[in-house]
Amino acid sequence: MNFINSEINNITEKDSTLEFQNNLEKGRTYTFRIEPQSVDFQYKVRLSALTDILLTTAGFNADDNGFGMRLLHSMNYAWVLLRMAIEMDIFPLQYENIHVKTWIEHVGRATTTRHFRIYNDRNEIIGKASSVWAMIDMKTRKAQDLSVLKGIQDFAHGDSINIEKPIKINAIEGVLKDSFKIKYSDIDINGHANSIRYIDWISNCFSLEIYRLKKLKRFEINFMNEMMYDDKVEIYMQQLTTNDFQFEIRKENTVSCRAQINYSET
């Protein structure tokens, strides 16, 4: 979804601030059903569909807390995802319900950290995720000082999660796995390639046999530079071990995204 790591140290400050109706809701749970369009050939939810549920959860919670995307767009701002890590013990199946709890751990000047815990209907934890977000000005595409969102710090309550937080992923050499151009269906409301598309592109680098034989343990992604309509995408993959893979998505000589996937044997 996003591109502003290089802008984080050049935060644009605004004189005006956005005030929110602060109900101090510090964490909330949202329920989703895994629909047929969200599963793969094994009836398991696809990684991209699961990530979409997490991002939808983040959007719902931001709206409930008073600093959602609709309000930000009215002020020419937008939330952008910088990094995310997901660890799954069990991938839910078609028609199963999942319950996603989300909360904000920390709000800094440039970024905010949001966590997720995924439960099944038996109230068992089946997965966890951690994410880092920033806010941009839609016109300048530059990062904004989060202090303009007056009251947002009140929602950060410092609770961590027992998952390694997403970190900076190193550059790779890799081999070219795919190339194509960004099309209409790839573009989101922020005017660039949707973050979910990146995950589909990475997932498509593996054969069906890999999905039959291996179980995804951890997925991690860094968004670095946005990709726009008609940009040429090149996807590079480097295999580190039998079960560990790294990816780099590039447009020309610019790295747009890095990711890594860790599998275990089923």
Residue 101 pLDDT exceeds 90: yes
Q: What is the pLDDT of residue 25?
A: 52
DSSP letters, 33-59, are E--GGGB-TTSBBPHHHHHHHHHHHHH
**103 — pLDDT class (breaks 50, 70, 90):** very high
Q: In CATH terms, is domain 5-265 a member of 3.10.129.10?
A: yes
Residue 32 pLDDT exceeds 60: yes
pLDDT in tens, 113-128: 999 999 999 999 999 9
Residue 10 pLDDT exceeds 80: no
- Name the percent of the chain lying above pLDDT 90: 64
Mean pLDDT of 75-87: 90
Domain boundaries, the chain: 5-265
Half-sphere exposure of 58 (CA within 13 A, CB side): 24
Q: What is the pLDDT of residue 26?
A: 63
Residue 137 pLDDT exceeds 60: yes
